[in-house]
Structure 1
Amino acid sequence: MSPAIQRQAASSGSGSDTDPRYANVDERKRKRMISNRESARRSRMRKQKQVEDLVKETTQLQKENAQLGQQIEVSGLRFREIDSANNIMRAQAMELTDRLRSLNSVLEVVEAVSGFAVDIPEIPDCMLEPWKLPCPTMQLPIIASAAAGDALKY
């Protein structure tokens, strides 16, 4: 080969495999390529781990959300039960207050007809206005039995 052709081949890069000047460049290129591949692999692994972590977190949050939903449902049910019982108690308190007024009227009639002095108790304000609690004048025992519910019926 003529020297001009050799220079052209050397400058075109086809002879870089045999030229010791370019061996160092090829080695650096190969190392950079390996390093880039490793970096890309680590990046893919990081991304995969992030996705897995997000999936776990999503699953956990959905589980917590379902539990909170159940707690809200149970609390709502308990509220409705207590509200219903409260409404029943209000109605019973009004009924008992009316009965007490009626009995006091009967006692007034008995007092007027018989001439005997009858002690007619005043209706406490807490019976007339149950929202103004506590009621210090009323010291009635609370009966907690099934028979107590029957005693309030006519």
Structure 2
Amino acid sequence: MVLQSNLIVPNSMKGMSACTNPITSSSGTVITQQNSGSEKDPHQIIDERKQKRMIANRESARKSRLRKQQHLDELNADVDNLGAENNMLFTQLNIVSLNYMQLQEENSLLRSHAMDLSHKLQSLNIKMQWAGVLNDLDLSSSDGFVHPIPMDIKPWYL
């Protein structure tokens, strides 16, 4: 036997072409039969399968790269959107912080003004009490403040 391109071929078939199929008769003689052209060499079939698999693998890799690129583009768009939202929130935070500081300053001024008015009122109450004591009047009340005269009671000088 002779090994011819990974196929074992008997010595009696050495001179036959690749497109013949040997058939052994019952008497042991070898009969050759011509291929009709529809049958292919096993190596050709294997090569075609490899070629198809290689093409399918390339297509799969191309689709995978496209999906990866699309995912990357979506992530970049998300990064841009989140960056813009972050800037907007940061701007809003700055505005709210400035408003808070302005309100805090205004509140401090109003408290100071209220304290000044309270001190003036206490001073006036003390002066009124001294004036009442000097004129023998009891102008003090239980809470220590002089209360205004109700508007429905008209003093005699009006």
TM range (shorter): 0.5 to 0.7
Question: RMSD over aligned Cα, in angstroms?
Answer: 2.4
In the superposition, the TM-score normalised over structure 2's length comes to 0.65
Counterpart check, 1:72 vs 2:67: no
The CA deviation string for residues 3-53 of structure 1, in whole angstroms up to 9 with x for no partner, is 95xx44x239xxxx9861212111111110110000110111011011101
Partner residue of 2:84? 63
Structure number with greater CO (CA < 8 Å, separation at least 6) is 1
Partner residue of 1:95? 116
Residue number among 76, 84, 94 corresponding to 2:105 in the alignment: 84
Partner residue of 2:31? none
Structure 1 gaps, min length 5: 125-154
The CA deviation string for residues 79-111 of structure 1, in whole angstroms up to 9 with x for no partner, is 001000110011011101100110011111111
Q: What is the correspondence of 1:30-41 to structure 2 with a 5 Å cutoff? A: 30-41=51-62
Counterpart check, 1:11 vs 2:2: no
More helix by share: 1
**Maintained 8 Å contact 1:104/1:120:** no
The aligned length equals 115
Cα distance between partner residues in 2 of 1:80 and 1:41: 58
Cα distance between partner residues in 1 of 2:144 and 2:43: 112
Partner residue of 1:45? 66
More strand by share: 2
Rg larger in 1 or in 2? 2
Shift of 1:116: 2.1
Cα distance between partner residues in 1 of 2:144 and 2:51: 101
Letter in 1 for 2:100: F
Partner residue of 2:128? 107
Cα distance between partner residues in 2 of 1:45 and 1:78: 49
Counterpart check, 1:21 vs 2:37: no
Cα distance between partner residues in 1 of 2:89 and 2:80: 14
Partner residue of 1:141? none
Shift of 1:61: 0.5
Structure 2 gaps, min length 5: 8-17, 20-39, 146-158
Partner residue of 1:148? none
